Amino acid sequence: VKIVKLIVSLSITIGLIILLSTPLGGKPAFGKLLNPVSGFWANAESRNLHIDSEIAKLPLNDEVVAYFDERRVPHIFANNEYDLYFTQGYIVASLRLWQMEFQVMAAEGRVSEILGDDPRYLEFDKKQRRKGLKFGAQNKTELMMQDPLARELINAYTDGINEYIKRLPAKKLPLEYKLIGYKPELWSPYKTALFLMNMSDVLTSTEYDIEYSNFVFQHGSELFHQLYNDWFPENDPVLHAPEEGWLAHFGLDTSAIPGTAVLFPGKTPENTNATLGILDPKPDVQIGSNNWALHGNKTLSSYPLLANDPHLRLTFPSVWIEMHLVGPQSNAYGASFPGAPAIIIGFNEKIGWGVTNAGRDVKDWYVIEYKDNNKDFYRWEDGWRETKKVVEEYKVKGGQSVYDTIIFTHLGPVVHENFETNAGKLNLALQWMAHYPSEEYKTFYLLNRAENFEQYLEALTYYSCPAQNFVFACVDGDIALRQQGKFPVLEKHEGLTIEDGSKREKWSRFIPFEHIPMEYNPASGFVSSANQHAVDTTYPYYTNGVYEYYRNRVINDELSKLRRATVEDMKALQYNNYNLLAAENLPLLLDMLSTFKMNFKEQEIFESLRKWDFYNHADDINSTYFQIFYERFFTLLWDEFTEEEVAGSWENFKQKDGYKAPGEFKTYKIITDSIYNPFISHEQYPEIKTYNDIAQLAFKHAVERIEKIDQTDLPWGKYKNTLVEHIAMIPAFSANVNTGGNYKVVNATGKYHGPSWRMILDFADGKVSGLGVYPGGQSGNPGSYYYDNQLKEWTQGIYHELINSSSKADFENERYRKVTFKN
Amino acid sequence: MKNILNIVAIIVAGALVNLIAPWYFVALIAFASSMIFSEKALFAFLTGFAGVFLLWLFTAIAATWGNEGILVGRMSELIGMSGMALYLLTALIGGLTGGFASLSGFFLKDLFNQKDKSIYYGTK
């Protein structure tokens, strides 16, 4: 009997421990997670860390000191380059390890390895690898490892991260590892390359080659050009044509201009009713950025001012981490990417720089015709070329490995096989600038050290993809802006739609460095970019892309008016809520409405909108009215190409699979310039015959929707309800903020996107002083005060002084917590 | 008195083991402690339960001291229970593990060391 008791009791005990250690039904193991020793409790951090500490026996050449300020920004002082980037890696890992690893695992297509057996994860992973994120990262790693400078930089950074991982006790594992139930791998230079591929994917994937092809197949190229041509006289490009013209400026004659390509393969009306293949979700159209620099002749101090705010998805942990890196020959301060060495957007003692996305199309699609089902050969002119096959393994967590064969052609990987288009089922290969070997990190390493305009230019020679508008200012008084990237020389319209893979060779000619457009101390006294067209149509090279039409005009308008500008003017412009899209479209739409058909509520909202000043302030109600009205108008007009909008998803006109509606500014031009448009009618509302009918119905629908919204939720900030979301989409780790701004507004705070780092640099008296703030915090730990401590300041327009002293003495006080890294 | 001694022993030894070993080693502590101190099955369970319950509760409170409720706030939203319940659930898991481990320890002692029991009585 006693032995039975013992066995039963022991079994219960052991059973309980096993039960508590086993993940059940997708939930983490309760005992592992909840025990206060190594479970989540161990991730609680105290806000007060004003205790000096020491980390010993590190593989450093010399001692390194880091001073953490009250926002936990590290000011790192190292005596040699290796130690500097080693310590950067070590500290970034200590603050953001889970985020940096998860981002690159997702880039590599390994989400199902972490999150388990869910067809959505596997689908995502396969797409990542088919698009060639792994392929590109391998190509870049190979090149970086051949360059002594890039190799040193990335190896030091990698060593620092790995030293942190090796020393990390299980109980201090970031919370997400405990929740999901896995452990970090060691870092490698390849992972740093993957991070860059991830950025290229986000910043160059807004292209519509396949969607445009579907339109051309169905409606022909003439109508396509009418409804999709995107150059207008109102456009103010980033870089203006020189007085003598581009050709003369480059010393070229007209024979240098390539010919025009035919949109492939023209109209095929018999296929127009096919179910179209579902394309990857595009990065949000709101991704974009602003930057500008003012020459001393426009500023109060007579020295330049520079500002930059890149708009990315608002996430926890933040996409950026703020750092100050002082080495033997460098002193750089700014925003860095967790996973990438050096400062990406920032300043040193002489220069400052910032970036906005170029938006040029560097992703082209080609039809591939296989010889037979073995897919060993594909058509090339009158014969065949051999494919290369790569078998990819997906180690699905809690399941069996899945295998997928990716076919490579001379142009790149076949991403879509048997893909439904209006021209039938096609195999589509992708040629993407991001696939090519390049060493962008070298650009940033050199910018961290550049002292003048010449050295800025030299740094940019290493930069390929994703192409950026690099703004520049320096203490000498120079300002400049250059759209840097590697671009193929294309025929006009080449790559606008799908190309024929049996006739197009791999890109072989690229726009030479000296023909990349640039402005240097222009007569206007300022340079600026906000994702608009790079250049006008007289530029001798084809520059297809997806461009913005509103922010740049507001910025340029404000900057041209400024005299004796100060830092305060820069702050005001970064937080400028003027909605030019509304200012152009609302009067047009209101004019289309006939008031005598309106009920009381409709009249009230109509009158309210008529008095609106077009500012998207947080407490404004007309912003909400306009957004709902405009969104409804746009969707009713382009019902052929957009889905009925889903309540609450106000900011995105969700395109129907395989289609892309003309953009907002093009739509405005189609209406005001009376461009032929056969898509006015609406299947569901046969009464619609004119734009006025659409406006009338849209207004009626909008008011019906507005009446359903609770009064307290009508102010713009409440209605928009901007979300800063945890990157694994855990609601408890995310936050909503009530704030003004909108996409297409200079203060580009939409629902999911916004200025992810706001920086203003003042070069007064030949010294660089910086201000900055970002929507998050230095720590990636949801159990830390520093996880979100800057979010409120960011919404309120409070900037932090970025202290970039190169003297340790300035940090030897009670404001800073000193950490000594010893060898 | 012995029961209180048992609880204290579990807390002290458990806290020390916590520093180096995985969480479930606390079961071994409760098991061993019970073999030394326990006299009755019911008290063995209760002391083991109380010891680890208190140890885990204290440890959780200590871990989140100075955290201003940030972590508990987010975790209670994630798990879907109040912060207080989260502390108690944690303690309860520990308590049950400790209780059954302690009971097992007592049963083992009961099985092999019948005579020793009287020695313990003798030393009381």
Query: pLDDT for A100-129, tens place per residue?
Result: 999 999 999 999 999 988 899 999 999 999
Q: Where are the beta strands (DSSP E) in A499-615?
A: 499-500, 518-520, 526-529
pTM for the complete prediction?
A: 0.94
pLDDT, mean over chain A? 93
- Residue A5 confidence (pLDDT) above 80: yes
| Residues of chain B contacting residue A20, judged by C-beta atoms under 8 Å apart | 24, 93, 97
A739-780 pLDDT per residue, tens: 999 989 999 999 899 999 999 999 999 999 999 999 999 999
Q: How far is A416 from chain B (nearest CA, A)?
A: 38
pLDDT band, residue B121 (cuts 50/70/90): very low
Q: Are strands A383-386 and A377-380 parallel, antiparallel or unpaired?
A: antiparallel
Question: A2, B111: Cβ pair inside 8 Å?
Answer: yes
DSSP notation for A308-344: EEEEEE-EES-S-EEEEEEETTEEEEEEE-TTS-S-S
Residue B64 contacts A where some CB pair is shorter than 8 Å: yes
Determine which of A28-42, A200-214, A594-608, A701-715 has the lowest per-residue pLDDT on average: A28-42
DSSP code for A797: T
d(CA A762, CA A767): 8
Report yes or no: A38 and A44 within 8 Å, Cβ to Cβ. no
- First-to-last CA distance in chain A? 62
| Mean pLDDT computed over B65-88 | 94
SS3 breakdown of chain A: % helix, strand, coil, rounded to 5? 35, 20, 45
Question: B59, A41: Cβ pair inside 8 Å?
Answer: yes
d(CA A302, CA A318): 35
pLDDT of residue A774: 97
pLDDT of residue B123: 40
Number of inter-chain CB pairs under 8 A, A vs B: 117
Q: Which of B66, B89, B101 is facing A34, going by the closest CB pair? A: B89
Task: Answer with the residue of higher pLDDT: A87 or A256.
Answer: A87
Nearest chain B alpha carbon to A176: B75
pLDDT of residue A259: 84
Report yes or no: A45 and A39 within 8 Å, Cβ to Cβ. no
Question: A36, B101: Cβ pair inside 8 Å?
Answer: no
Start-end of H helices in A148-282? 148-167, 175-180, 189-204, 209-219, 221-228, 246-250
Question: B68, A47: Cβ pair inside 8 Å?
Answer: yes
Q: Which of A12, A39, A730 is facing B100, going by the closest CB pair? A: A12
pLDDT of residue A652: 54
A245-255 pLDDT per residue, tens: 999 999 988 88
d(CA B3, CA A537): 89
- Joined together, the tokens standing for residue A12 give 């219960």
pLDDT band, residue A26 (cuts 50/70/90): low
pLDDT band, residue B115 (cuts 50/70/90): low
| Mean pLDDT computed over A26-39 | 85
